[in-house]
Amino acid sequence: MKPLFRPLRLSVCIVALGACSCASDAADQEYLAALRGEEEGMTREEQLAHLDRAIVLAPERASYRETHAIYAIDLRRFETAAADLDTAIQLADRPYLRFLRGLVSCQRGEFEGSLSEFDRAIREQPTNTQFYRGRSLARSRTGRYREALEDAERLVAQVPQQAESHYALGIALTGLGRFDEAVEALGEAMRRRPELLYPLRARAEAYDRLGDRERAAADLAELARRERDESLCATCRDPFRY
């Protein structure tokens, strides 16, 4: 499975570590071994074992915890990921960690609790558009559709090329009962990234609420067919894993 996130590209990590005296540090060697696993065909379990050893050797390094959380997310070990992120934030708080913890909270069904994480990430780094995607979806999950729409419209204005922007817009519009517009937005998401499954599921719901049972059934049938494809990436199936 390909990684969902890369804190740094492997080559950058190697150069950065090679330029400092800690290049021979045993903890960094374990950390680099975990990162090299992306190119060497390691399983996530093998990569996590390297990170576990790195953390034992240098528990104060937040980057190890962040990467451990990311790999735990890939394995859907959300409680482990949340604990990793709690520690990383204590060691070296930054907006991306707050955003990531917000996503993990959503994965655990804690949508209300995720909002403070997204709010803080946005407050500290308001130009990072991915933070607004997370907050828009979380706001929709908590019934705050007008606020979700504000975030989604900002996304469509700033990054219209991203399918996720149109998906967030479609979800907010569905919540507001604007089903025709929702169908259009979700269709745009699918045109931009046809491999994504979740806009198809959402469009089926919008069609159903419009009373168009035929199109809703067609979308659900297509969704069922495509869900059988085991090669689909996790991020194609789950809007909280981008």
- How far is the C-alpha of 106 from the C-alpha of 109, rounded, in Å? 5
The angle that helices 26-40 and 44-57 make with each other, rounded to 10 degrees, is: 170
Ordered alpha helix ranges (H), 19-162: 26-40, 44-57, 62-74, 78-92, 95-107, 111-124, 129-141, 145-158
pLDDT in tens, 154-170: 999 999 999 999 999 99
- How far is the C-alpha of 198 from the C-alpha of 48, rounded, in Å? 29
Summarize the confidence of residues 73-80 as an average pLDDT. Answer: 95
Distances (CA, A) of 156 to 49, 150, 152, 222, 228: 41, 10, 6, 26, 31
For residue 54, name the pLDDT band (cuts at 50, 70, 90): very high
Distances (CA, A) of 63 to 21, 54, 87, 165: 18, 10, 10, 29
Question: Residue 2: is its pLDDT beyond 50?
Answer: no
Residue type, 225: R
pLDDT in tens, 124-182: 999 999 999 999 999 999 999 999 999 999 999 999 999 999 999 999 999 999 999 99
- How far is the C-alpha of 134 from the C-alpha of 151, rounded, in Å? 9
- How far is the C-alpha of 112 from the C-alpha of 7, rounded, in Å? 27
Other C-beta atoms closer than 10 Å to the C-beta of 56 total 11
Q: Are 44 and 234 in contact (CB under 8 A)?
A: no
pLDDT at 16: 43
pLDDT at 11: 41
Question: Residue 3: is its pLDDT beyond 50?
Answer: no
pLDDT at 23: 52
Q: Which two tokens stand for residue 218?
A: 């067609």
For residue 231, name the pLDDT band (cuts at 50, 70, 90): confident
- Return mean pLDDT, the chain: 91
- How far is the C-alpha of 196 from the C-alpha of 162, rounded, in Å? 12
pLDDT at 21: 41
Q: Are 215 and 207 in contact (CB under 8 A)?
A: yes
pLDDT at 19: 39
Q: Which residue has the higher pLDDT, 1 or 65?
A: 65
Give me the count of residues in the chain: 242
pLDDT at 1: 39
- How far is the C-alpha of 235 from the C-alpha of 167, rounded, in Å? 14
Question: Residue 198: is its pLDDT beyond 50?
Answer: yes
Domains belonging to the chain, first-starting first, are 1-93 (1.25.40.10), 132-242 (1.25.40.10)
For residue 234, name the pLDDT band (cuts at 50, 70, 90): confident
Question: Residue 77: is its pLDDT beyond 70?
Answer: yes
pLDDT in tens, 4-50: 444 443 443 443 444 344 456 999 999 999 999 989 999 999 999 99
